[in-house]
Amino acid sequence: MNFQRARLLYRLISHNQRLQERRHPMFEKNMAMKVFGYIFVAFWALYFITFGVSFFYIFDGGPLEAFDMVDGGLIIFLTLDFLTRFGMQETPAQDIKPYKLLPIPQNFLLNVFLVRMGLRAYNLFWFFFFVPFGILAIPQFYGLWGLVGYLLGIWLVFVLNSYWYLLWRTFINRNMLAFIPPVLLYAAGIYFGLVDDEYTRQILGANHLQPLFYGCLYLMRWFAQWDIRGVLTVFAAILPLFFANRYFQGKSIYFEISKAEVVKNVKSNQMTWLDKFGEIGEYLKLEIKSTQRNAAIRKQFVTGVICMTLFCSIFAFTDIYDNDFMRIYICTYCFACLGVMTLTMVMCPEGNYIDGLMARKESVLSLLKAKYYFNFIMLLVPLLFSLMPVFKGKLTVVDVLGCMFFTSGVVFPFLFQLAVYNDNTVHLNAKLTKSGTSTKAQMIFSLAGLFVPMIVMYTLMACFTEDIAAWCMFIIGVVGTALHPWWLRNVYNRFMARRYKNMDGFRNSR
């Protein structure tokens, strides 16, 4: 392939990759999440900058220069980088599929994708740490050019780490156990490379120099000195990794193409014990089966239950939250957290079969009722846990029931409002939760679901005694719970008023 054609194809594929990100059906709805993401990155960037500056002052004036100390410990940065890439970086094997039958050599395609992986901006993320650190530490010894060389070296080292990650990620995609070797290698690297204790002396000799520490230290000095050995060393590692990646990614394409979903046999489960609840019982069955059989829903539910159990256990078995306010607040949180996690996405899973639901009279109303009862029943778990602090005398029965009914009568109605506004379909069986699928309303409501109870409690406890506040919560909660047929009907009517917009959103995001 001549250079002109290679350049043209590189540009075309790069362009397609950018369009793929931009034209995602959720792009518009993701704007809020993107902004949130940018704030998150800015937050970490600020952290890194602070660390960069701090590290200079911590190590300055020691037996080794500050940059030697940090560079010697490069393995720690690389380990953190390796782990964080799991949420950020996929392998190119799947992206290649659409190009597989085009008259473009596969190795060329892999080269393009791998080069793009090396050049992606994420490899510069650690610059938030190393630029401020480098500015303070390097120029006084190696001048400005030394700083440029140093940063070039840092970038190349993280590109190297990126290819190292990709290689293992390819193996992990095929077998989860492939996670073990790199973790062991990093752990061994940190231990034998940095730690100087009796055991390492026994293994490496009494007067050993931590080899990895000094290896990294000299490597980065070479870069700062523009010594060709620096670039040669890193490239000597990058090139084999690049070609190893190309080889294994190539194999992986066949694996991806021929990958057939393993279909497990499922016995029909009629759950006849729910039949006595009529139509609501049928929708309750749907809720239970959806949680059992859909990976995304199951994951969300299990995460919620783990969080709830964790909060409940901390609250029930420790004395961490023992002041008046925190006691009630954490108690409410134990009850509310599962609902906040699952109801934030209310109706989103149903987006997959919304047409079927809408073809039957008031089926969405029955579904909403079933969801409410399902979440109400789940409140029995924290209720059981809360008996422990009641027996210990940390809380009264009214406190616990107040928190429970406040959740079912105030927090749940609040979260159910999202049934009116949610119009993004959640893919039921997606193994990985795609990032950025929350809408602005979902974010606001989930945050409010966590903080509104706190504000109400602050207000009540500021105005009355703790006992009266608990009774108020109990009464408000019971009233809200008793009124659930009314407010669920209200939610349903408003959903129906917005149905065309919602159905359109559900279809577009399927």
Partner 1 sequence: MDIIVENVKKTFGDKVALDIDKYIVHSGEVIGLVGNNGAGKTTLFRIMLDLLKADSGTVCLGECISSQSEDWKAYTGAFIDNGFLIDYLTPEEYFRFLAKVIGINDEQLNERVNRFESFMNGEVLGQDKLIRNLSAGNQQKVGIIGAMLANPQILLLDEPFNFLDPSSQMAMKYILEQYNKETGATIFVSSHNLTHTFDICTRVTLLEHGKIIKDYDKDYAELTSEIEEYFKGNAF
Considering only residues 249-288, where is the footprint of partner 1 by CB under 8 A? Answer: 261, 263, 265-270, 275, 278-279, 281-282, 285-286
Which of 21, 87, 393, 500 lies at the binding interface for partner 1 (CB under 8 A)?
500
The contacts of residue 249 (CB under 8 Å, 6+ apart) are: 91, 92, 93, 96, 110, 113, 114, 166, 170
Does residue 508 touch partner 1 according to CB under 8 A? no
354 binds partner 1 (CB under 8 A): yes
3-11, 43-51, 349-357, 376-384 -> range binding partner 1 (CB under 8 A)? 349-357
Q: State yes or no: residue 294 binds partner 1 (CB under 8 A).
A: yes
Residue 489 engages partner 1 in binding (rule: CB under 8 A): no
User: Measured between alpha carbons, how far is 446 from 352 in angstroms, rounded to an integer?
Assistant: 22
163-202 residues near partner 1, rule: CB under 8 A: none
Comparing CA positions, the residue from 439, 311, 463 lying closest to residue 33 is 439
355 part of the interface to partner 1, by CB under 8 A? yes
CB of 503 to partner 1, least distance (A): 6
Cβ atoms of 97 and 257 closer than 8 Å = yes
Nearest distance, CB of residue 490 and partner 1, angstroms: 17
User: Which of 289, 299, 394, 440 contacts partner 1 by CB under 8 A?
Assistant: 289
Instruction: Examine residue 323 and tell whether it contacts partner 1 (CB under 8 A).
Output: no
Residue 328 and residue 402: Cα distance in Å, rounded?
9
Cβ(114)–Cβ(248) below 8 Å: no
Closest alpha carbon to 164 in 183, 149, 151, 177: 183
- Which amino acid, one-letter code, is at 490? N
Based on CB atoms, which residue is closest to partner 1, 313 or 429? 429
What span, in angstroms and rounded, lies between the C-alpha atoms of 390 and 398?
10
CB of 353 to partner 1, least distance (A): 5
Min separation Cβ 278 and partner 1, Å: 7
Residue 348 binds to partner 1 (criterion: CB under 8 A): no
CB-based contacts of 499, cutoff 8 Å, min separation 6 = 358
Could you tell me the smallest distance in angstroms from the CB atom of residue 79 to partner 1? 39
Cβ distance to partner 1 smaller for residue 286 or 401: 286
CB 96 within 8 A of CB 254: no
Tokens of 39: 């704030």
DSSP 347: T
Binding site for partner 1 (CB under 8 A): 261, 263, 265-270, 275, 278-279, 281-282, 285-286, 289-290, 293-294, 352-356, 358-363, 366, 428-429, 499-500, 503-504, 507, 510
